[in-house]
């Protein structure tokens, strides 16, 4: 078991080293950071599954997603527009320039959009209310029939 863990760790470190080496040979850098958003009660929380899209001349170069607020992406040398999005929050656009060997740290705070998230509509609440109402009417009718 310990041998397996060692081998997995070794190959993981080796692959990360190769990725950085390949990136440096073609030029480019690493962009990473955290994405936060405010909740309804104005608490600042890290956002999971926020998307970070890197565009160069209108073309998508890379897309990354945050996990527990953290994101990371590797981009070639050049200027990029980063588009940061998360359902229920306002989109944020930032222009960055990546140079060879760069290690850029960028954190973002997204504002709530105030628009409802499409998949979280009111239909389940309406169905629940109708179900409770029907159940109460059935119970009331049964009580009337027993007296």
pLDDT, tens digit, for every residue of 29-58?
A: 999 999 999 988 889 999 999 999 999 999
Q: Which domain holds residue 43?
A: 27-136
68 located within any domain:
yes
Q: Name the token pair of 89.
A: 């929050």
The span from the CA of 69 to the CA of 116, in Å, is 21
**Predicted TM-score of the model (pTM):** 0.63
Q: From residue 145, how far is each of 133, 134, 135 by CA, in Å?
A: 19, 17, 16
Q: Identify the CA nearest to 35 among candidates 76, 90, 79.
A: 90
**124: domain CATH number?**
2.60.40.10
pLDDT band of residue 141 (cuts 50, 70, 90) is: confident
Give the model's pLDDT for residue 1. 56
Identify whether 1 is part of a domain.
no
């Amino acid at each position: 078991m310990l041998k397996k863990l060692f081998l997995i760790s070794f190959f993981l470190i080796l692959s990360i080293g190769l990725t950085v080496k390949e990136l440096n040979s073609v030029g480019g850098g690493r962009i990473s950071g955290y994405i936060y958003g405010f909740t309804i009660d104005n608490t600042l929380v890290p956002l999971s599954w926020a998307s970070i899209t890197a565009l160069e001349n209108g073309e998508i170069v890379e897309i990354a997603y945050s996990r527990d607020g953290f994101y990371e992406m590797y981009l070639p040398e050049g200027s990029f527009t980063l588009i940061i999005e998360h359902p229920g929050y306002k989109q944020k656009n930032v222009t960055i320039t990546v140079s060879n060997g760069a290690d850029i740290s960028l954190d973002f705070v997204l504002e709530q959009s105030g628009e409802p998230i499409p998949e979280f509509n009111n239909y389940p609440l309406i169905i629940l209310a109708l179900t409770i109402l029907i159940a109460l009417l059935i119970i009331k009718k049964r009580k009337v029939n027993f007296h």
